[in-house]
Structure 1
């Protein structure tokens, strides 16, 4: 079940450790993250606070709903700062994919009942369920493929922003 939720919702845990105090790490990351969308150059966009960190990679003129969002929080471990959380899809995408695959389960259930009742007339209904399943899986895989470099890009840029001048 964990593999299915990781696939559908793009959930992947992360943890970064930095050798700077937590206040400095927060301030440096705030300076590296824009709060508004970027129109001319790619960059990190989101919110950074002591409570929560939400960052995404924004590339001008490119839209991918399946790109990863970094959602996490800072904590302090002695002289080190830890940024931990999860890379995940946007909540709307998660809700849409839940609706999509939930509908497929409903479709296949109803199609199976129809086939059991009238096998000669309804034999093709389960095939449509299988095609919708394939389309949904293909859509998620294609979206993940288009954003395949975003996690590493975010990791590198967060590390560069926090570790600069240290």
Structure 2
């Protein structure tokens, strides 16, 4: 009897270990196979559907005709996670300058978005059939007509763009 219980416990522990190992591997190493949507400077930003924090679905173009800075990030992006404490501070600064800050999360699973730091008034990509870019973090500057003025990829380039368009200090 005791031997059967020990064998059963070993089977359960082994099964849990395998499940956790596979889950960890998938979250860290599986490639995102969704095709990337090209973002082209001097072209309009695509009218993608976004989901607000309250689960309301909106079209990007319904956000109005104001200048926007879009951060494209992912919870799997190490740099994004290291720098996420700056987003709120920078978003507040942009709003004072009359520029709408928008964060689009590239996560495949909604649960990973909920685990990420939700930023007040921000949006996330709803359509899980495509990505906006292969590389995160990416920052886009849009004019009043939602036309892409500039695309910067990576934290150093983003910082240079921020310094170029504002006098923001980290």
Higher helix share: 1
Whose radius of gyration is greater, 1 or 2? 1
TM-score (normalizing by structure 2) = 0.22
Higher relative CO (CA 8 A, sep ≥ 6), structure 1 or 2?
Answer: 2
TM-score (normalizing by structure 1) = 0.22
Higher strand share: 1
